């Protein structure tokens, strides 16, 4: 099990890898106590050779590997690529190209939503992985033989998985689906978190414009602070604390003691001073400058009969195509579609629209109906007289 710790050896491997159509890639990293992931190991395999690259080795220059990631002639194959790519974007400023994510491909091929690597290895390769090293300390040196074997398995089996999924995508004529699904992981802005957009990841909702302004400002401050200090967001303030402070907007230290989500004594901290500054600034805003709350659309209830029909259609199409229903459309997608023909949702774009979205709109407007048959649910056109 070869571990690369010298730049010359890495150059040789990357030159060899560039001769092939694809290379499989994985990483091991830590981020439990940091905002930014700490890269501890890189695994890579060509059809002929698999190696471990030690980014912690003194003097090792990763530039040859970064050049391989940017090589347009070699497909970089990952499984569940986002966190791996985030690391490389952080180090190089660019997204590897081109990319093939086996988790995305597997979902398109009917293996289910967010299928695990372990399950794909069992389903496609017919092997079982040793999971005992999954939570090991990858920053410790030297690596044990068990750690090395575990790490290499993440890229050696991936070669067979990649080839099988490419064949299956072509057989099902779903290569265009794969391209649509891959667009988001190929975009640079997917991996660059702007503090001013941090509020969008919060699932907690507020009902007043001033509360929303405070939520945005506090989330932006926390994100910037976490990035600057390289600490997890939750180490700065937890989500429920951000929500509570956005609504209560404290302006003196004593008020913090009344809040359940804020640590005891927080009001005396330097961070609390910043929170109070934000609270005062929000209170001083003119109402005309406050952000608007999302529009509450009026129309048929998403949980009513129209929504029920669309869910039956979704289930029928999913069974017919051998794809998990959630991959085609989520429950939120259906709710949005009931309320708005032009909703900005995945179900109304790309292959999903062709497969489901257009039919869903047709059902909503009485242009097609669902018919129960011995073989399942099918769609039939409705004549103009019938739809009245």
Nearest to 162 by CA among 192, 121, 219: 121
Low-confidence ranges of the chain (pLDDT < 50): none
Q: What six digits make up the tokens of 287?
A: 């109402």
pLDDT 10s digits, 258-285: 999 999 999 999 999 999 999 999 999 9
What domains lie within the chain, and their CATH numbers?
3-190 (3.30.420.10), 195-289 (1.10.150.80), 305-381 (1.10.150)
Q: Quick check: 52 and 1 in contact, CB under 8 A? A: yes
**Which residue carries 């190209």 as its tokens?**
97
Question: What is the H or E stretch that residue 84 is in?
Answer: helix 82-92
Global pTM exceeds 0.85: yes
Q: For strands 50-53 and 3-4, give the pairing.
A: parallel
Q: Quick check: 279 and 214 in contact, CB under 8 A? A: yes
Q: DSSP class of residue 252? A: S
The answer for residues whose C-beta is within 8 angstroms of residue 382's C-beta and 6 or more apart is: 366, 367, 368, 369
Question: What is the H or E stretch that residue 125 is in?
Answer: none
Q: Is 44 helix (H, G, I), strand (E, B) or coil?
A: strand
pLDDT 10s digits, 132-164: 888 899 999 999 999 999 999 999 999 999 999
pLDDT of residue 385: 57
Tally: H helices and E strands in the chain: 16, 8
Q: What six digits make up the tokens of 83?
A: 């966190």
pLDDT of residue 373: 86
Q: What six digits make up the tokens of 115?
A: 């299928």
């Amino acid at each position: 099990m070869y571990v690369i710790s010298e730049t010359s050896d890495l150059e040789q491997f990357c030159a060899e890898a560039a001769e092939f159509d694809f290379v499989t890639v994985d990483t091991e990293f830590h981020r439990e106590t940091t905002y930014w992931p700490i890269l501890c190991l890189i695994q890579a395999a060509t059809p002929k050779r698999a190696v471990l690259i030690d980014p912690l080795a003194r003097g090792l220059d990763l530039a040859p590997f970064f050049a391989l990631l940017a090589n347009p002639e070699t497909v970089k194959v990952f499984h569940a690529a986002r966190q791996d790519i985030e690391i490389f974007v952080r180090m190089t400023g660019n997204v590897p190209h081109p990319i093939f994510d086996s988790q995305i491909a597997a979902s398109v091929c009917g293996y289910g939503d967010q299928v695990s690597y372990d399950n794909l290895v069992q389903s496609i390769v017919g092997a079982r992985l040793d999971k005992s090293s999954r939570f090991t300390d990858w920053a410790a040196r030297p690596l044990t033989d068990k750690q090395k074997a575990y790490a290499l398995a993440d890229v050696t089996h991936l070669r067979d998985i990649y080839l099988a999924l490419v064949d299956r995508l072509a057989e099902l004529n779903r290569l265009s689906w794969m391209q649509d699904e891959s667009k988001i992981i190929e975009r640079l802005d997917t991996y660059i978190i702007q503090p001013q957009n941090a509020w969008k990841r919060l699932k907690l909702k507020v009902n007043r414009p001033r509360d929303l302004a405070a939520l945005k400002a506090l989330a932006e401050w926390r994100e910037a602070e976490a990035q600057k200090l390289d600490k997890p967001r939750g180490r700065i303030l937890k989500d429920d604390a951000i929500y509570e402070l956005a609504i209560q907007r404290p302006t003196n230290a004593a008020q913090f003691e009344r809040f359940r989500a804020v640590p005891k004594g927080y009001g005396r901290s330097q961070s609390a001073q910043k929170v109070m500054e934000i609270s005062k600034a929000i209170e001083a805003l003119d109402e005309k400058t406050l952000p608007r709350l999302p529009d509450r659309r009026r129309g048929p209830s998403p949980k009513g009969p129209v929504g029920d029909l669309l869910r039956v259609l979704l289930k029928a199409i999913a069974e017919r195509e051998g794809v998990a229903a959630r991959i085609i459309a989520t429950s939120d997608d259906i709710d949005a579609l009931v309320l708005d023909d032009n909703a900005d949702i995945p179900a109304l774009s790309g292959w999903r629209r062709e497969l489901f979205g257009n039919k869903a709109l047709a059902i909503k407007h009485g242009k097609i109906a669902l018919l129960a048959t011995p073989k399942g649910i099918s769609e039939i056109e409705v004549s103009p007289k019938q739809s009245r």
